[in-house]
Amino acid sequence: MQADVVTLGTLGAQAESTKSVDMATRFHLRTWLWLLLLSPVVLLLFCAVLPELFQLHDPQHQNLRARLLPPWSTSSDGFHPFGTDSLGRDLYSQMVEGTRLTLTIAVVATAIGGTLGVLVGLISGYFGGWLDRFLSRLSEAQTAMPMFLVAILLLSLLGPSVTILLIVLPTLLWPIFARVVRAESMRLKESLFIEAAIAVGCSPMRLLRSHMLPNIAPRILVLAVIEVGHVMLAEAGLSFLGVGVQPPDVTWGLLIAGGRPLLAVAWWLTILPGVLLAMTVLIFNLFGRQFERFSGAAG
């Protein structure tokens, strides 16, 4: 990072107008602002890996004399920054506990769906023909289907579990990746370096892996960052409706659902986990958009 800043600074100084110096400083400031935005994500990662480090209480510890305490209160157990639930469990510690499963499901589901979508997109974009027509129709049909409803049906038929969720969420996801990658690889296929690679006898596998994929990777990454946020929302929605993650597992969506019956007496149980979820998704969204703008400006 430091090296980048220095280069940019000297570049600005070498330029004749002072305007470019301003630009460089602004870029510098912007970068740091964006890195600042990254810090909550790092914090969340730490929460997911080592929840004990951040928890004030055991998230499952019940204390019936400290039920439904509002945020910022103290009980015989100690301090409760976000209050307690109907069994006297500390909400803050539960939210920290829920980070792991929430992030894991979102990232793994995005990885599975993304990989599938990228494979389909590469194949149908590069080879074309009947394979492309078939795969495109498949993803089109799926986009036209109310997949969220089919997911509810599937989850209620098979009995909701994290494993089923990791099958259902990627099926919602892959057409988005497939469409982008297909368009990109169709565009790339026409470029000179691909023609050259074919001319020197590159096998299709090698071509796709070493020449196409690295060129599409930035787009995929941007998309994946945005989609992680969307998957979080989908998982929370399914869990909220009772067909997603089941207790005693903890995710943010489940915490929101758990607080719903007590909405009139204990707003914090519903609102605070939702704030955390919304802010996390917002950060992913802002990041994705910023990356998009950045790579768009570069390309």
Partner 1 sequence: MRWFNRGSSSVDGKEPQLETAPDFPSRQPIMGVVVRRVRDGAITLLIVVTVIFTLAHVVGNPAIAYAPIDASDEEVALIEHQFGLDRPFTVRYFEYLGDLATGDFGESNWQKRPALDAVREAVPATIQLTLAGILVAGLFGSVGGLLAGISPNSLFDRVTNFFSVAALSVPNFWLGLLLIVVFAVNLGWFPTSGRYGWSSIVLPAATLGIVHGGRIFQLVRSATVEEISKPYVVVARSKGFSMPVVVGRHVLRNTGLTMATTVGWEYVRMWGGAAFAIEYVFAWPGIGLLMINGANRQDFFVLQSAVIVAGAFVILSNLVIDLFYNLIDRRINSAG
- Rounded CA-CA distance 22/255 in Å is 47
Residue 130 makes contact with partner 1 by CB under 8 A: no
CB 254, CB 98: distance < 8 Å:
yes
CB 160, CB 125: distance < 8 Å:
no
Q: How many CB atoms lie within 10 A of CB 271?
A: 15
The interface region with partner 1, picked from 60-68, 95-103, 142-150, 197-205 by CB under 8 A, is 142-150
Count residues near partner 1 (CB under 8 A): 42
- For residues 233 to 252, the per-residue mask of contacts with partner 1, x marking binding by CB under 8 A and - elsewhere, is x--xx--xxxx---------
Tell me how far, at minimum, the Cβ of 220 lies from partner 1, in Å: 21
The interface region with partner 1, picked from 65-73, 82-90, 151-159, 184-192 by CB under 8 A, is 151-159
Q: What is the Cα Rg of the chain in Å? A: 24
In this structure, are strands 73-75 and 78-80 parallel, antiparallel, or unpaired?
antiparallel
Applying CB under 8 A, which of residues 27, 198, 286, 292 lies at the interface with partner 1? 286
Tell me how far, at minimum, the Cβ of 274 lies from partner 1, in Å: 4
Tell me how far, at minimum, the Cβ of 24 lies from partner 1, in Å: 20
Tell me how far, at minimum, the Cβ of 299 lies from partner 1, in Å: 18
Applying CB under 8 A, which of residues 1, 36, 53, 149 lies at the interface with partner 1? 149
Residue 216 makes contact with partner 1 by CB under 8 A: no
Residue 282 makes contact with partner 1 by CB under 8 A: yes
Residue 120 makes contact with partner 1 by CB under 8 A: no
The token duo for 269 is 């149980």
Tell me how far, at minimum, the Cβ of 203 lies from partner 1, in Å: 35
The interface region with partner 1, picked from 6-14, 43-51, 127-135, 256-264 by CB under 8 A, is 256-264
CB within 8 A of 230, min separation 6: which ones? 281
Closest listed residue to residue 222, CA positions, set 127, 274, 297: 297
Residue 274 makes contact with partner 1 by CB under 8 A: yes
CB within 8 A of 85, min separation 6: which ones? 67, 68, 91, 94, 258, 259, 262, 266, 269
- Rounded CA-CA distance 129/157 in Å is 37
The SS3 assignment for 213 reads helix
Instruction: Give the interface with partner 1 as residue ranges (CB under 8 A).
Output: 140-141, 144-150, 152-158, 229, 233, 236-237, 240-243, 253, 256, 260, 263-264, 267, 270-271, 274, 277-279, 281-282, 284-286, 289
